[in-house]
Amino acid sequence: MRPDQMKGDADFRKQMAGYGLLTAEISYWMPDHPSILQQFIWQTHDRAPGFPELSRFLDYWRREVEATLHSIRVAHDGLIRPAEWRAVNGVLTVH
């Protein structure tokens, strides 16, 4: 099995375990310029509502990164879903 196939299998197994795509918009104060607010976008597969992957990432950030966190906005496909699509059998004509 090729390495790219193995990654796809791991992603599929995560989806089957309840993981979905998480996007985090992290705003932080720059250490060298404390008046400047910077943004960082981060994506991973995570599990709502506990978000263990995001929690690990933020723990790492607090330990290893000098920048002070300002705010975090989270979008997760388990929290926000696109509208469902269904086929309609018929035609509507408007004059």
SS3 content of the chain, % helix, strand, coil (to 5): 30, 30, 40
Say how far apart CA 95 and CA 12 lie, in whole Å.
Answer: 48
8 A C-beta contact, residue 63 and residue 5: no
> How many percent of the chain have pLDDT more than 90?
52
Question: Residue 2: phi, psi to the nearest 5?
Answer: -75, 155
Give the pLDDT confidence score for residue 49 in this predicted structure: 87
The share of the chain scoring above pLDDT 70, in percent, equals 74
Q: pTM higher than 0.75, yes or no? A: no
Max CA distance (Å), the chain? 64
Q: Are the C-beta atoms of residues 37 and 25 closer than 8 Å to each other?
A: no
H helices of 1-95, in order, are 3-16, 52-64
pLDDT tens-digit profile of 19-60?
Answer: 888 999 999 999 899 899 999 999 998 998 899 999 999 999
